[in-house]
Amino acid sequence: MIGVFDSGVGGLTVVRALMEHLPGYDIVYFGDTARSPYGTKSPATVTRYALEDARRLLAEGARVIVMACNTASSLAPEVVRQTFGVPVFDVITPAVEAALAATRNLRIGVIGTRATVLSGIYETRLRQRAPGCRVYSAACPLLVSLVEEGWLRRPETAMITKKYLLPLKTRGIDTLILGCTHYPVLAEVIQRKVGRRVRLIDSADGLARQLADFIAGPAGKDLNLPQTGRHRFLFSDLTDHLAGIARRLIKGHLNLELVRT
């Protein structure tokens, strides 16, 4: 199976893209809702959680790990790869590639959780690929809470988004990486506040294409991933409120399973 984990429900936006690009492939999702969010926590704690999440997915039969969480992806893909020796896909790489393909003026903005922004991963990776590019980052921690409250169209959300984006807008960016799986659901208000000419980059689609290419290639074929169309959604905690957000993100009915940590 394809194993996907996230700190909570945000990674379901990635699962939706995987379902579109890899229909029929079995997917097991784990959302660590008992310990979410990750984006406010320290690198040591996030790394430990990422290892535990990957171990759980492997125990459930995953042969490929997708880190749908930007915070975990910014800190832990190498240690997960080295610990378990399985193919690991993170959400940073596809966003970096898509941003470099989209930018014309090489001024790229990045928004993410505090942990993601403090890690400096996007700057490092963008500058490795395009040494001349300028990267401007802003931590937007409240956007996660606003999405989890379902405040997608409220004026307060628009005000807070505007405040966060203003420093990036004044830098003249032409491309903005949505460096947190929660942000794509706010794409409309983000686009309005950062300006119509700025291209928004979301990892989900690029990641799904990258994984589809891998699966079609020789290493992917060797894995012999099952294609019975089975999708499982495991969470370390469940409330009615969370289940409602999960169903909205995946745009359909979900059978949510509670698992003990």
Q: Which is nearer to a copy of itself, 33 or 175 (CB)?
A: 33
Look up tokens 């794509």; give the residue. Answer: 184
Contact set with a copy of itself (CB under 8 A): 33-35, 40-42, 45, 114, 141-142, 145-146, 148-149, 151, 155-156, 159-160, 163, 236-239, 241-242
How many residues are present in the chain?
Answer: 261
According to DSSP, the β-strands at 175-179 and 134-139 are: unpaired
Q: Which is nearer to a copy of itself, 133 or 243 (CB)?
A: 243
Q: For the CB of residue 136, give the shortest distance to a copy of itself in the complex, in Å.
A: 20
Say how far apart CA 102 and CA 96 lie, in whole Å: 10
Q: For the CB of residue 212, give the shortest distance to a copy of itself in the complex, in Å.
A: 34
Q: Which of 1, 12, 22, 69 is catalytic?
A: 69
Say how far apart CA 259 and CA 32 lie, in whole Å: 10
Letter string b/e over residues 46-59, b meaning 16 or more CB atoms within 10 A of that residue's CB: bbebbbebbebbbe
Tell me if residue 180 is catalytic.
Answer: yes
Say how far apart CA 220 and CA 52 lie, in whole Å: 24
Q: Which of 126, 180, 204, 211 is catalytic?
A: 180
Q: Which is nearer to a copy of itself, 114 or 134 (CB)?
A: 114
What does the block give as tokens for 105?
A: 């003026």
Q: Which is nearer to a copy of itself, 141 or 195 (CB)?
A: 141
Q: For the CB of residue 43, give the shortest distance to a copy of itself in the complex, in Å.
A: 9
Q: For the CB of residue 37, give the shortest distance to a copy of itself in the complex, in Å.
A: 9
Sign of the torsion formed by the C-alpha atoms of 42, 43, 47 and 50 = positive
Which residues are catalytic, by number?
69, 180
